[in-house]
Amino acid sequence: MRDDITALLLQSRLFARIPPSNIERIGQLIEPLEVSASDVVVRQGDISDYYYIIEAGRCEVLRELDDSEPQSLAQLSNGQSFGEEALITNSQRNATIRMLTDGVLLRLTRDYFIELISAPLLHEVSHERAEYLLATGAR
């Protein structure tokens, strides 16, 4: 694994709670993807397939409401990531991500994301415990 990828992963709060062996494995499995300005990386409504980290470049988060023009919600840049929500909830993409500049994205497949990132962060509780937690204000 390249040291710069390790450093990039460790910048994220998400990776602070991941076992070091998982971070090492992610570094071996993550794929670089060269992208150009105006490329659409993910499209709202599509099936989620990858988790992305921006190694270089800037992109824009867009959301379409009804049949109107897409609304710009945010800009993301080096070290930031996207795509985890749809992977965790096993749902469609809730926004479109379009590159504003040329760049390099690092991507991890859905299966590896679940195995190496999502699963270690999940804490299972019994039904009874969940009911108690909800009754006392948990979400």
Tell me the per-residue pLDDT of 19-45, one tens digit each, with 9 for 90 and over.
Answer: 878 888 888 889 999 999 999 999 999
Q: Domain boundaries in the chain?
A: 3-135
- Alpha-carbon distances, residue 55 vs 5, 50, 136 (angstroms): 8, 15, 41
Amino acid at 122: L
CATH class of 3-135: mainly beta
pTM of the full structure: 0.78
β 40-42/96-99 pair status: antiparallel
Stretch 98-109: mean pLDDT: 96
Please say if the pLDDT value at position 97 is more than 80.
Answer: yes
